[in-house]
Amino acid sequence: MNELAPQGRACAWLTPRRFAGLLAVLVLASFPEVILGLKSFVHRDFGLFGYPIAHYHRDSFWRGELPLWNPLSNAGLPFLAQWNTLTLYPGSLIYLLFPLPWSLNAFCLAHLWWAGVGMFLLAERWTANRAAAGVAGVAFVFNGLALNALMWPNNIAALAWMPWVVNSMEQGWQKGGRSLAIAALVGTMQMLTGAPEFILFTWLLAGAMWGWQWLRGAQQRGELFGRMCGMAVLVFALSAAQLLPFLDLLRHSHRDTQFATGAWAMPPWGWANLLVPQFHMNRSGAGLIYQPHQYWTSSYYPGGAVLALGLWAAVRWRQPRAFLLTSLLLLSLVLALGDAGGIYLWIRQAVPAANFMRFPIKFVVVAAFLLPLLAALAVEDWSQRAKETGLKDARRLVLVMLGLAAAVAVWAAKAPLHASDATQTAWSGGRTGLFLAVALTLLAAHLAGQTRWTSVGAFSGVVALLWLDVAIHIPWQNPTVAPQVLASAPKCDEALSPLGLGRGRALLSLSAMTEFYQMNLPDQAESFRRRREGLHNNVNLIDGTPKVDGFFSLYLPEERRVHFRLYPSVQEIREGLADFLGVTQVTSRTNLLGWSPRPTALPWVTGGQRPFFVDAGTALTNLIATEFDPRQVVLLPPEARTLARATNAASVRIGNVNWSPHRVRVEAEAEDAAWLVFSQAHYHPWRVMVDGTEGTIWRANVAFQAVELAPGRHQVELVYRDDAFRFGCLMSLGGLVLTGLAWRRR
């Protein structure tokens, strides 16, 4: 820990331990019912993605399985390789060991607290001023973006590690040895959270600071380069068990260099929301507000006082670090505008790999990280002359910010998006102005305080105002429901109870999916209940119900192409294709929450069909044809013709079938050479053993699996064996050894 600078001793009482306790009190005050288990988060992706993923992960954990494959969604899909499933993240033990949904809520709030502690330590090391560090720590936790991120367990975890990674990496390239080992371990923790954009932003920020150090020549460049490369190699090696399966899936997924469209960008006037959070916002049926055409985050408001202090540091540029942070802040806000900002469009065209990322609004993550640090630099600057000009500086800054807020309010009055926009903006701007005026006045009084008790009281008021400003800046971003809403079984349980691995799948109609996506009920509990009964997005994972679709970041492209062609119209489905996929229940035409049985559905394993060897395009055309009959025909790639002996229909009797997430055992008897067909998505880690001898799995019906059988009785076993994961585990073990060697070097 750095020795406090003279101007920082007025807040010497705010030790890291005391700040951690203060922050815990603020988090408890914000979410008392959630922490006590009386309520649970449910809004948007928490209930439809984060909670079902955690539930499936937990079920696998208690079965003694590592969930590499998910057979319940999209006719089968990699699970661990998705990365954002947190499968290998050590912090996941919180919800693996303790009851859901409370444990997942605790996971998210614990990381929110951890984010503030990390930011406090980073700002304290940069400024040697605990008042500055306290402002930065509170601001990083209580801002619109961080509170919005509570709906994504992986994103809030990655956000929490951002200041820890930057802090430890900076010390790693400066000191080497044990500091380098610590940086590698901290970087690995964030890497395992599985939030690619957050991780990328963290490393770009650290890289920019490293580049600044390189250009200044403050350290021997060879040493600087070697240590940075060493940290990067160690983090990759330690994370390889997660990264290699992810990169393999990314290479085989539906995402490519044409994936990004620039959708969900910050609107051209979005900078105004940094100061006036309700400017030009739309209100949903649930009472929350969003920017038009951007629904990734409901807010990125940093707090009026924090924004004012950040602008102060940006304008004064008293430190080289302030200039660097200001430049990065402006760049992030321009990039968040998407194609309208120009730079993002140029990057997409010049660097095709950038198109793997969606939603340019995500660049506000960088702004949310940098503004608290700039605010800390401003507090440090004020501290140096607090007794002489501190109050005058505060008054000038308040007047400037009030003028900006008034300008935004006038703008809203002249060009409102809707009837209530002017009133809403005026209230929001006035509220922001009041909070920032009082907070900055108290901060100046704190820095000029003569006694410890004056200092403590004034600073406590600053912290309380920073917290309250964000807590009420818009309608509450994190609606809650009773935990039983998530934990209890849905009413449709009886209708779907026959479904299970190998027995049948559910299929939502296109009209049902559309209605669920547009559903915007004011009652969050009722909204989730309906989605749960209708199996919207990933809620099927909670009850172990297989279905044809799912909600994930990465999909297998062939399966996705088939799935998109299941619906010839809003109300219709392609019967032959649905039969092949084993769809035994489909959304009722008369009841969004009801299910209609399909007695014509086939088992997940069939055999004896006549093969047709055609290219992928022709196969897809035949698959969606009205006359396609999966009982009689299987579509195989042309290259299978030269190796196959089974070229005609044959009689196959299928005996016992044992279906589990990573292994399928089938007893089959064929009179002649024949094909055994599985309505499970084809992915290359699957292996087949026929009577103990490894065989070949062919791509069948565009996206699924088929195995050739010789005449006779056979034991067929499909096994999921991810070699990328296995090799990654060996690399991670090697990374641990290297990290241990670095730790021994003092």
Indicate the domain borders of the chain: 255-482, 483-597, 605-722
Only one residue has tokens 């020795």, namely 3
Tally Cβ neighbours within 10 Å of residue 439. Answer: 27
Only one residue has tokens 């209230």, namely 427
Report pLDDT for 3. Answer: 60
Query: What mean pLDDT comes out for the span 29-33?
Result: 96
Confidence band, pLDDT 50/70/90 cuts, at residue 216: confident
H/E stretch holding 232 reads helix 221-238
- pLDDT over threshold 90, residue 678: yes
Q: List all residues 6 or more positions away from 549 whose beta carbon is below 8 Å from its beta carbon.
A: 73, 74, 507, 508, 513, 563
Q: Mapped to the 3 state alphabet, what secondary structure does 593-656 carry?
A: CCEEECCCCCCCEEECCEEEECCHHHHHHHHCCCCCCCCCEEEECHHHCCCCCCCCCCCEEEEE
d(CA 228, CA 415): 50
Query: What mean pLDDT comes out for the span 666-692?
Result: 96
- pLDDT over threshold 70, residue 10: no
Residue 345, token pair as written in the block: 């469009």
- pLDDT over threshold 50, residue 1: no
- pLDDT over threshold 70, residue 365: yes
- Collapsing DSSP to helix, strand or coil, 444 comes out as helix
Whole-number mean pLDDT of the chain?
91
Query: What mean pLDDT comes out for the span 99-113?
Result: 97
- pLDDT over threshold 80, residue 492: no
Residue 642, token pair as written in the block: 């030269």
Hey, which residues does 699 pair with through a beta bridge? 705
Query: Contacts for 694-699 with beta carbons within 8 Å, 24 or more apart?
Result: 696/643, 698/636, 698/637, 698/640, 699/558, 699/636, 699/637
- pLDDT over threshold 70, residue 213: yes
Angle, alpha carbons 13-14-17 (nearest 5°): 115
Arch. (CATH architecture) of 605-722? Sandwich (2.60)
Report pLDDT for 393. Answer: 76
Report pLDDT for 414. Answer: 73
- pLDDT over threshold 50, residue 367: yes
Query: What mean pLDDT comes out for the span 641-663?
Result: 93
Query: What mean pLDDT comes out for the span 565-584?
Result: 91
- pLDDT over threshold 60, residue 6: no
Nearest to 706 by CA among 625, 619, 599, 627: 619
Report pLDDT for 256. Answer: 78
CB 632, CB 41: distance < 8 Å: no
Question: DSSP assignment, residue 548?
Answer: S
Only one residue has tokens 């003569």, namely 450
d(CA 610, CA 608): 7
Query: What mean pLDDT comes out for the span 161-185?
Result: 95
pLDDT (tens digit per residue) in 459-479: 899 999 999 999 999 988 999
Report pLDDT for 19. Answer: 96
d(CA 519, CA 502): 32
Peptide bond into 101 cis (omega under 30): yes
Query: What mean pLDDT comes out for the span 523-543?
Result: 93
d(CA 41, CA 477): 10
Confidence band, pLDDT 50/70/90 cuts, at residue 355: confident
Report pLDDT for 746. Answer: 59
- pLDDT over threshold 60, residue 450: no
d(CA 630, CA 620): 13
pTM over 0.85: yes
How many angstroms separate the Cα of 55 from the Cα of each of 190, 337, 429, 542, 633? 22, 36, 42, 6, 38
CB 27, CB 34: distance < 8 Å: no
d(CA 298, CA 119): 23
Confidence band, pLDDT 50/70/90 cuts, at residue 496: confident
Residue positions counted in the chain: 746
d(CA 598, CA 578): 9
Q: For 703, how many CA atoms within 13 A lie in the half-sphere containing its CB?
A: 26
Tally Cβ neighbours within 10 Å of residue 282. Answer: 14
The single-letter code of the amino acid at 8 is: G
d(CA 357, CA 258): 10
Report pLDDT for 404. Answer: 84
Query: What mean pLDDT comes out for the span 593-603?
Result: 93
Question: DSSP assignment, residue 500?
Answer: B
How many angstroms separate the Cα of 154 from the Cα of each of 51, 54, 187, 189, 246? 11, 11, 15, 11, 15
Report pLDDT for 602. Answer: 96
Report pLDDT for 249. Answer: 96
**DSSP E strands, 132-257:** none
- pLDDT over threshold 80, residue 419: no
Query: What mean pLDDT comes out for the span 26-51?
Result: 96
Task: Identify the weakest region by mean pLDDT among 161-175, 184-198, 337-351, 702-716.
Answer: 337-351
Largest CA distance in the chain: 98
Tally Cβ neighbours within 10 Å of residue 327. Answer: 14
- Collapsing DSSP to helix, strand or coil, 490 comes out as coil
Question: 587 or 411: which carries more pLDDT confidence?
Answer: 587
- pLDDT over threshold 60, residue 7: no
Question: DSSP assignment, residue 142?
Answer: S
Question: DSSP assignment, residue 5?
Answer: P
Residue 562, token pair as written in the block: 């088939």
- pLDDT over threshold 70, residue 420: no
Query: What mean pLDDT comes out for the span 295-308?
Result: 93
- Collapsing DSSP to helix, strand or coil, 534 comes out as coil
- Collapsing DSSP to helix, strand or coil, 669 comes out as strand
Tally Cβ neighbours within 10 Å of residue 650. Answer: 18
Nearest to 141 by CA among 369, 430, 389, 316: 369
- pLDDT over threshold 80, residue 77: yes
d(CA 529, CA 425): 34
CB 168, CB 174: distance < 8 Å: no
